[in-house]
Amino acid sequence: MRDSALRYYWLGMAVLLLDLASKWAANAWLTLHEPLPVLPHFNLTLNYNTGAAFSFLAEAGGWQRWGFTVLAVVMVAGLLWWLRRLPPRLTCESAGLWLVIGGALGNLVERIYDGRVTDFFDFYWGDWHYATFNVADVGISVGAVCLIVHEFWGRKRQEVSQ
């Protein structure tokens, strides 16, 4: 583990723990579907999602719980294999992978335990509301951006230095 990017597991674990703690707090302190205003254009609003992003397949009848569970396990295993092959330094690529893993595990734990995912970040403009989301979703999104940045800029820098 020392000679690969697996040594930065703490980044994924930080996302996982922050996600689970924030979901616990949202369930303890918020009321379902009742917005709690925080800032202009931002509320905390408790929602549950049995589907994937933007409630994709939320009404699929229940099979999606285990389908998304298997998908997450396979994805995390693949990303860990990818990390194992990376050098032992924290780069945009390895940080991005750990952020995605932490977020995927956060949603996976809750999906296995509850059959749904707790969402509570609610951004809006007028009557338009973006889909509610959670810390795990932020980790996955920021991690994906890191991977895209690495692909377009980091990889070119690596090729030039070799």
Q: Which of 19, 114, 122, 137 is catalytic?
A: 137
Q: Which of 114, 119, 122, 127 is catalytic?
A: 119
- The answer to whether 3 is a known catalytic residue is no
- The 3-state secondary structure of 99-151, one letter per residue: HHHHHHHHHHHHHHHHCCEEEEEEEEECCEECCCECHHHHHHHHHHHHHHHHH
- The answer to whether 127 is a known catalytic residue is no
Contacts of 119 (CB under 8 A, 6+ apart): 46, 47, 48, 49, 131, 132, 133, 134, 137
143 backbone dihedrals φ, ψ, rounded to 5°: -60, -40
Q: Under a CB-based contact definition with an 8 Å cutoff, are residues 44 and 35 in contact?
A: yes
User: What gap in Å lies between CA 36 and CA 22, rounded to an integer?
Assistant: 15
Contacts of 24 (CB under 8 A, 6+ apart): none
Q: How far is CA 11 from the centre of its chain?
A: 12
Give me the active site residues, please. Answer: 119, 137
